[in-house]
Protein backbone atom coordinates (compact mmCIF):
# COMPACT_ATOMS: atom_id res chain seq x y z
CA UNK A 1 0.00 0.00 0.00
CA UNK A 2 1.18 3.52 -0.78
CA UNK A 3 1.03 6.42 1.60
CA UNK A 4 2.38 9.94 1.35
CA UNK A 5 3.57 12.48 3.87
CA UNK A 6 4.10 15.94 2.40
CA UNK A 7 7.00 16.68 4.69
CA UNK A 8 9.96 18.78 3.61
CA UNK A 9 12.67 19.68 6.06
CA UNK A 10 16.18 21.01 6.10
CA UNK A 11 18.93 20.45 8.61
CA UNK A 12 21.96 22.70 8.87
CA UNK A 13 24.96 21.29 6.99
CA UNK A 14 22.77 18.44 5.64
CA UNK A 15 21.07 18.01 2.26
CA UNK A 16 17.49 19.18 1.82
CA UNK A 17 15.27 16.10 1.92
CA UNK A 18 11.66 15.58 0.87
CA UNK A 19 9.65 12.42 1.44
CA UNK A 20 8.26 11.30 -1.90
CA UNK A 21 6.11 8.39 -0.78
CA UNK A 22 6.00 4.86 0.63
CA UNK A 23 5.91 1.73 -1.49
CA UNK A 24 5.79 -1.82 -0.15
CA UNK A 25 8.39 -1.69 2.64
CA UNK A 26 10.43 1.44 1.83
CA UNK A 27 10.02 5.19 2.23
CA UNK A 28 11.31 7.24 -0.72
CA UNK A 29 13.03 10.62 -0.46
CA UNK A 30 14.48 13.18 -2.83
CA UNK A 31 17.82 14.44 -1.57
CA UNK A 32 19.73 17.44 -2.88
CA UNK A 33 22.70 16.36 -4.99
CA UNK A 34 25.49 18.45 -6.52
CA UNK A 35 27.37 18.02 -9.77
CA UNK A 36 26.49 15.84 -12.72
CA UNK A 37 23.51 13.60 -12.08
CA UNK A 38 25.18 10.25 -12.64
CA UNK A 39 24.28 6.97 -10.99
CA UNK A 40 27.55 7.10 -9.04
CA UNK A 41 26.76 10.60 -7.75
CA UNK A 42 23.23 9.52 -6.76
CA UNK A 43 24.56 6.54 -4.86
CA UNK A 44 27.09 8.69 -3.00
CA UNK A 45 24.41 11.30 -2.18
CA UNK A 46 22.02 8.67 -0.78
CA UNK A 47 24.72 6.98 1.28
CA UNK A 48 25.85 10.29 2.79
CA UNK A 49 22.26 10.91 3.89
CA UNK A 50 22.19 7.40 5.44
CA UNK A 51 19.75 6.11 2.83
CA UNK A 52 19.99 3.35 0.23
CA UNK A 53 19.96 3.81 -3.55
CA UNK A 54 16.83 2.13 -4.98
CA UNK A 55 17.14 0.03 -8.12
CA UNK A 56 14.88 1.00 -11.04
CA UNK A 57 13.53 -2.55 -11.20
CA UNK A 58 13.90 -6.01 -9.72
CA UNK A 59 16.87 -8.33 -10.12
CA UNK A 60 15.94 -9.13 -13.73
CA UNK A 61 16.29 -5.46 -14.74
CA UNK A 62 19.57 -4.87 -16.66
CA UNK A 63 19.90 -1.44 -15.02
CA UNK A 64 19.68 -2.94 -11.53
CA UNK A 65 23.31 -3.65 -10.66
CA UNK A 66 25.25 -4.29 -7.48
CA UNK A 67 25.37 -0.54 -6.96
CA UNK A 68 21.69 -0.27 -6.01
CA UNK A 69 19.24 -1.95 -3.64
CA UNK A 70 15.99 -3.66 -4.77
CA UNK A 71 13.26 -1.85 -2.86
CA UNK A 72 10.13 -3.04 -4.64
CA UNK A 73 10.14 -0.86 -7.76
CA UNK A 74 9.54 -3.03 -10.84
CA UNK A 75 9.12 -0.71 -13.87
CA UNK A 76 12.59 -1.27 -15.26
CA UNK A 77 11.83 0.36 -18.62
CA UNK A 78 10.06 3.31 -16.99
CA UNK A 79 12.03 4.34 -13.88
CA UNK A 80 9.99 5.91 -11.04
CA UNK A 81 6.74 4.97 -12.82
CA UNK A 82 5.17 3.59 -9.62
CA UNK A 83 5.97 6.79 -7.74
CA UNK A 84 4.59 8.97 -10.54
CA UNK A 85 1.36 7.00 -10.74
CA UNK A 86 0.84 7.30 -7.02
CA UNK A 87 1.78 10.95 -6.71
CA UNK A 88 0.22 12.26 -9.90
CA UNK A 89 -1.68 9.44 -11.56
CA UNK A 90 0.46 9.57 -14.70
CA UNK A 91 3.93 9.28 -16.16
CA UNK A 92 7.06 10.67 -14.43
CA UNK A 93 7.43 13.52 -16.94
CA UNK A 94 3.81 14.48 -16.21
CA UNK A 95 4.36 14.64 -12.44
CA UNK A 96 5.51 18.00 -11.02
CA UNK A 97 6.45 16.32 -7.72
CA UNK A 98 9.21 14.42 -9.53
CA UNK A 99 10.60 17.40 -11.47
CA UNK A 100 14.34 17.39 -11.03
CA UNK A 101 14.42 13.95 -9.39
CA UNK A 102 16.89 11.41 -10.79
CA UNK A 103 17.05 7.68 -10.14
CA UNK A 104 19.90 5.21 -10.42
CA UNK A 105 19.98 3.60 -13.87
CA UNK A 106 23.02 1.39 -14.04
CA UNK A 107 26.60 2.52 -14.63
CA UNK A 108 26.94 6.01 -16.03
CA UNK A 109 24.17 8.56 -16.40
CA UNK A 110 21.12 8.53 -14.16
CA UNK A 111 17.54 8.85 -15.41
CA UNK A 112 15.72 11.97 -14.32
CA UNK A 113 12.77 14.26 -14.98
CA UNK A 114 13.30 17.78 -16.32
CA UNK A 115 9.99 19.40 -17.14
CA UNK A 116 8.46 17.41 -19.98
CA UNK A 117 11.66 15.47 -20.58
CA UNK A 118 12.26 12.06 -19.13
CA UNK A 119 15.66 10.43 -18.62
CA UNK A 120 17.26 13.82 -19.14
CA UNK A 121 20.72 14.87 -18.04
CA UNK A 122 21.18 17.54 -15.38
CA UNK A 123 23.33 19.11 -12.68
CA UNK A 124 22.71 19.98 -9.03
CA UNK A 125 19.32 18.24 -8.91
CA UNK A 126 17.79 15.63 -6.59
CA UNK A 127 18.66 11.98 -5.99
CA UNK A 128 15.91 9.43 -5.40
CA UNK A 129 16.82 7.64 -2.17
CA UNK A 130 15.02 5.11 0.02
CA UNK A 131 14.90 3.91 3.59
CA UNK A 132 13.57 0.65 4.99
CA UNK A 133 10.41 1.28 7.00
CA UNK A 134 10.98 0.77 10.73
CA UNK A 135 8.62 -2.08 11.53
CA UNK A 136 9.40 -1.55 15.23
CA UNK A 137 8.08 2.02 15.25
CA UNK A 138 4.67 0.88 16.48
CA UNK A 139 6.29 -0.93 19.44
CA UNK A 140 4.69 -4.30 18.60
CA UNK A 141 6.63 -6.33 21.16
CA UNK A 142 5.03 -6.77 24.57
CA UNK A 143 6.10 -7.33 28.16
CA UNK A 144 9.43 -5.55 27.95
CA UNK A 145 10.67 -7.41 24.86
CA UNK A 146 13.25 -5.85 22.53
CA UNK A 147 12.14 -5.32 18.91
CA UNK A 148 14.62 -5.99 16.11
CA UNK A 149 13.70 -4.44 12.78
CA UNK A 150 14.03 -6.41 9.53
CA UNK A 151 13.02 -5.82 5.92
CA UNK A 152 9.22 -5.88 6.03
CA UNK A 153 9.46 -7.80 9.29
CA UNK A 154 10.52 -7.66 12.90
CA UNK A 155 11.43 -10.08 15.63
CA UNK A 156 10.85 -9.80 19.35
CA UNK A 157 13.49 -10.88 21.85
CA UNK A 158 11.49 -11.89 24.89
CA UNK A 159 12.57 -11.32 28.46
CA UNK A 160 12.74 -14.50 30.57
CA UNK A 161 9.29 -15.85 31.39
CA UNK A 162 7.51 -14.85 28.16
CA UNK A 163 7.11 -16.43 24.74
CA UNK A 164 5.15 -15.93 21.51
CA UNK A 165 5.69 -13.91 18.33
CA UNK A 166 5.07 -10.69 20.26
CA UNK A 167 6.21 -12.12 23.62
CA UNK A 168 2.57 -11.89 24.59
CA UNK A 169 2.34 -15.20 26.47
CA UNK A 170 3.44 -15.75 30.04
CA UNK A 171 5.18 -19.14 30.13
CA UNK A 172 3.39 -21.47 32.55
CA UNK A 173 6.25 -22.78 34.67
CA UNK A 174 3.73 -25.04 36.40
CA UNK A 175 2.93 -26.92 33.17
CA UNK A 176 5.68 -29.45 33.87
CA UNK A 177 4.19 -30.21 37.34
CA UNK A 178 7.43 -29.37 39.19
CA UNK A 179 5.95 -29.66 42.69
CA UNK A 180 6.32 -33.11 44.23
CA UNK A 181 4.41 -34.94 46.89
CA UNK A 182 1.06 -33.47 45.87
CA UNK A 183 2.27 -29.90 46.29
CA UNK A 184 0.27 -27.07 44.69
CA UNK A 185 2.13 -25.07 42.06
CA UNK A 186 1.60 -21.31 41.69
CA UNK A 187 2.91 -19.79 38.46
CA UNK A 188 4.93 -16.55 38.46
CA UNK A 189 6.70 -14.64 35.71
CA UNK A 190 9.85 -16.69 35.03
CA UNK A 191 9.29 -18.84 38.09
CA UNK A 192 6.89 -20.71 40.33
CA UNK A 193 6.37 -21.57 43.98
CA UNK A 194 5.09 -24.73 45.64
CA UNK A 195 2.69 -24.96 48.55
CA UNK A 196 3.56 -28.25 50.22
CA UNK A 197 1.16 -30.67 51.91
CA UNK A 198 1.75 -31.70 55.50
CA UNK A 199 4.87 -33.80 55.88
CA UNK A 200 6.67 -32.33 52.85
CA UNK A 201 9.19 -29.50 52.78
CA UNK A 202 11.58 -27.98 50.23
CA UNK A 203 11.26 -25.68 47.23
CA UNK A 204 9.59 -28.50 45.29
CA UNK A 205 8.13 -30.31 48.34
CA UNK A 206 10.78 -32.91 47.55
CA UNK A 207 11.85 -33.66 51.12
CA UNK A 208 10.00 -35.81 53.65
CA UNK A 209 11.46 -35.80 57.20
CA UNK A 210 11.15 -39.05 59.19
CA UNK A 211 12.61 -40.49 62.36
CA UNK A 212 15.58 -42.00 60.55
CA UNK A 213 16.52 -38.86 58.65
CA UNK A 214 15.17 -37.27 55.49
CA UNK A 215 13.89 -38.65 52.23
CA UNK A 216 14.55 -36.66 49.06
CA UNK A 217 12.26 -37.46 46.12
CA UNK A 218 13.62 -36.77 42.63
CA UNK A 219 11.75 -34.80 39.98
CA UNK A 220 13.35 -36.64 37.04
CA UNK A 221 13.78 -40.23 35.89
CA UNK A 222 17.31 -41.59 35.36
CA UNK A 223 19.19 -44.89 35.32
CA UNK A 224 20.12 -46.62 38.58
CA UNK A 225 23.83 -45.62 38.40
CA UNK A 226 22.86 -42.01 37.73
CA UNK A 227 20.40 -42.05 40.63
CA UNK A 228 23.01 -43.53 42.96
CA UNK A 229 25.55 -40.89 41.94
CA UNK A 230 23.07 -38.04 42.40
CA UNK A 231 22.21 -39.20 45.91
CA UNK A 232 25.91 -39.37 46.81
CA UNK A 233 26.39 -35.86 45.40
CA UNK A 234 23.65 -34.68 47.76
CA UNK A 235 25.41 -36.25 50.74
CA UNK A 236 23.25 -39.37 51.01
CA UNK A 237 22.46 -42.61 49.21
CA UNK A 238 19.55 -44.37 47.58
CA UNK A 239 17.05 -45.18 50.29
CA UNK A 240 17.53 -48.50 52.11
CA UNK A 241 13.99 -49.76 52.58
CA UNK A 242 14.49 -52.17 55.49
CA UNK A 243 11.20 -51.65 57.32
CA UNK A 244 7.65 -51.96 56.11
CA UNK A 245 6.87 -48.62 57.74
CA UNK A 246 9.47 -46.85 55.58
CA UNK A 247 8.16 -48.56 52.47
CA UNK A 248 4.65 -47.36 53.36
CA UNK A 249 5.91 -43.82 54.02
CA UNK A 250 7.46 -43.68 50.56
CA UNK A 251 4.26 -45.00 48.97
CA UNK A 252 2.10 -42.49 50.83
CA UNK A 253 4.44 -39.63 49.88
CA UNK A 254 3.91 -40.21 46.15
CA UNK A 255 0.62 -38.74 44.87
CA UNK A 256 -2.00 -41.24 43.79
CA UNK A 257 -2.28 -41.62 40.05
CA UNK A 258 1.32 -40.66 39.34
CA UNK A 259 3.60 -42.91 37.28
CA UNK A 260 6.47 -42.73 39.76
CA UNK A 261 8.10 -46.08 40.57
CA UNK A 262 11.30 -45.01 42.32
CA UNK A 263 14.66 -46.72 42.51
CA UNK A 264 15.64 -47.82 46.02
CA UNK A 265 19.01 -48.91 47.40
CA UNK A 266 18.98 -52.53 46.22
CA UNK A 267 21.30 -53.59 43.43
CA UNK A 268 22.90 -56.54 41.72
CA UNK A 269 23.08 -59.23 44.41
CA UNK A 270 20.17 -57.71 46.33
CA UNK A 271 22.25 -55.99 48.98
CA UNK A 272 21.63 -52.58 50.49
CA UNK A 273 24.06 -49.74 49.98
CA UNK A 274 25.53 -50.52 53.41
CA UNK A 275 26.37 -54.04 52.22
CA UNK A 276 23.69 -55.93 54.19
CA UNK A 277 21.31 -58.39 52.53
CA UNK A 278 17.72 -57.62 51.60
CA UNK A 279 15.48 -57.29 54.64
CA UNK A 280 13.00 -60.04 55.38
CA UNK A 281 10.39 -57.33 56.03
CA UNK A 282 10.65 -55.96 52.49
CA UNK A 283 7.42 -56.85 50.69
CA UNK A 284 8.01 -58.14 47.14
CA UNK A 285 5.72 -58.48 44.16
CA UNK A 286 4.76 -62.06 43.34
CA UNK A 287 7.64 -63.90 41.67
CA UNK A 288 10.20 -61.30 42.72
CA UNK A 289 13.11 -61.14 42.82
CA UNK A 290 13.48 -63.32 39.72
CA UNK A 291 17.05 -62.30 38.91
CA UNK A 292 19.68 -61.06 41.32
CA UNK A 293 21.66 -59.28 38.63
CA UNK A 294 19.21 -56.36 38.48
CA UNK A 295 18.30 -53.25 40.46
CA UNK A 296 15.34 -52.68 42.77
CA UNK A 297 12.50 -50.19 42.65
CA UNK A 298 9.05 -49.77 44.21
CA UNK A 299 6.35 -50.52 41.64
CA UNK A 300 3.48 -48.00 41.73
CA UNK A 301 1.25 -50.41 39.81
CA UNK A 302 1.54 -53.00 42.61
CA UNK A 303 1.03 -50.89 45.73
CA UNK A 304 4.71 -49.96 45.72
CA UNK A 305 5.96 -53.48 46.32
CA UNK A 306 9.59 -54.06 45.42
CA UNK A 307 10.47 -55.20 41.92
CA UNK A 308 13.60 -55.64 39.82
CA UNK A 309 14.49 -54.25 36.41
CA UNK A 310 17.49 -53.53 34.25
CA UNK A 311 19.66 -50.97 36.00
CA UNK A 312 19.58 -48.93 32.78
CA UNK A 313 15.83 -48.36 32.95
CA UNK A 314 14.71 -44.81 33.67
CA UNK A 315 13.03 -44.35 37.06
CA UNK A 316 12.58 -41.60 39.59
CA UNK A 317 14.47 -42.25 42.81
CA UNK A 318 14.47 -41.57 46.55
CA UNK A 319 17.60 -40.46 48.38
CA UNK A 320 18.13 -41.02 52.10
CA UNK A 321 20.23 -38.85 54.37
CA UNK A 322 20.82 -38.74 58.11
CA UNK A 323 19.85 -41.43 60.51
Rounded CA separation 64/61 (Å): 5
Q: Are residues 179 and 162 in the same domain?
A: no
Last residue of a domain, one of 154, 170, 186: 170
Q: Are residues 217 and 314 in the same domain?
A: yes
Q: Which residue has the higher pLDDT, 166 or 26?
A: 166
Q: Are residues 184 and 204 in the same domain?
A: yes
Question: Is 323 a residue whose pLDDT tops 80?
Answer: no
pLDDT, tens digit (0-9, with 9 covering 90-100), for 4-17: 332 222 222 233 34
Which domain covers residue 309, as residue numbers?
Answer: 213-322
Rounded CA separation 319/216 (Å): 5
Asked if residue 125 lies in contact with residue 27, where contact means CB atoms within 8 angstroms, the answer is: no
Q: Where are the beta strands (DSSP E) in 7-76?
A: 8-9, 17-23, 26-32
pLDDT, tens digit (0-9, with 9 covering 90-100), for 289-311: 666 568 999 999 999 999 989 89
Q: Are residues 130 and 225 in the same domain?
A: no
Q: Which residues contact 188 (CB under 8 A, 6 or more apart)?
A: 161, 173
Q: Are residues 142 and 162 in the same domain?
A: yes
CATH number of the domain enclosing 178: 2.10.25.10
Does 17 fall in a domain?
A: no
Q: How would residue 134 be classed by pLDDT, with cut points 50, 70 and 90? A: confident
Q: What is the pTM of this model?
A: 0.54
pLDDT value for 10: 26
- Beta-strand pair 213-217/207-210: antiparallel
Does 3 fall in a domain?
A: no
Rounded CA separation 100/86 (Å): 17
Q: Are residues 147 and 198 in the same domain?
A: no
Which one, of 50, 46, 87, lies nearest residue 67 by Cα? 46
DSSP string over 122-146 = -BS-EEEEEEE--TTTT----TTPE
For residue 98, what is the DSSP state?
G
Does 245 fall in a domain?
A: yes
Q: How would residue 186 be classed by pLDDT, with cut points 50, 70 and 90? A: very high
* Residue 118 β-bridge partners: 113
- Beta-strand pair 101-103/146-150: unpaired
Mean pLDDT of 205-211: 89
Does 231 fall in a domain?
A: yes
Residue 12 class from Cβ within 10 Å (0-12 exposed, 13-18 middle, 19+ buried)?
exposed
Q: Are residues 284 and 317 in the same domain?
A: yes
Question: Is 267 a residue whose pLDDT tops 70?
Answer: yes
pLDDT value for 4: 33
Q: Are residues 195 and 243 in the same domain?
A: no
Q: Are residues 233 and 272 in the same domain?
A: yes
* Residue 131 β-bridge partners: 27
pLDDT value for 291: 60
Does 35 fall in a domain?
A: no
Q: Are residues 241 and 260 in the same domain?
A: yes
Which one, of 43, 47, 44, 45, lies nearest residue 33 by Cα? 45
Q: Which residue has the higher pLDDT, 104 or 3?
A: 104
Rounded CA separation 5/11 (Å): 18
Q: Are residues 226 and 126 in the same domain?
A: no
Does 161 fall in a domain?
A: yes
Does 296 fall in a domain?
A: yes
pLDDT, tens digit (0-9, with 9 covering 90-100), for 62-91: 888 888 888 888 888 888 888 888 888 888
For residue 17, what is the DSSP state?
E
Average pLDDT of the chain, as a whole number: 85
pLDDT, tens digit (0-9, with 9 covering 90-100), for 212-241: 789 999 989 999 999 999 999 989 999 999
Does 259 fall in a domain?
A: yes
Structural domain total, the chain:
3
Asked if residue 82 lies in contact with residue 71, where contact means CB atoms within 8 angstroms, the answer is: no
Q: Where are the beta strands (DSSP E) in the chain?
A: 8-9, 17-23, 26-32, 101-103, 111-114, 117-120, 126-132, 146-150, 153-157, 162-163, 169-170, 184-188, 191-195, 207-210, 213-217, 237-238, 263-268, 294-299, 305-309, 318-321
Q: How would residue 35 be classed by pLDDT, with cut points 50, 70 and 90? A: very high
Amino acid sequence: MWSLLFLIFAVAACPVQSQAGTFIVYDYFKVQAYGQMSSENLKLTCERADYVTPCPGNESCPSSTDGCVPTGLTACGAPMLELAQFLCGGMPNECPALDGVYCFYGPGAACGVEGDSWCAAGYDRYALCARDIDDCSSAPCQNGAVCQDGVNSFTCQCVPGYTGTLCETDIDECASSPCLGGGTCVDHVNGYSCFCPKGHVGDKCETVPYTGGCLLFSSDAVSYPEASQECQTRGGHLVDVKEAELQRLIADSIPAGSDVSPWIGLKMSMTYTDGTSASGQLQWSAGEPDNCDLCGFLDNTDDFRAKTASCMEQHHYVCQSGG
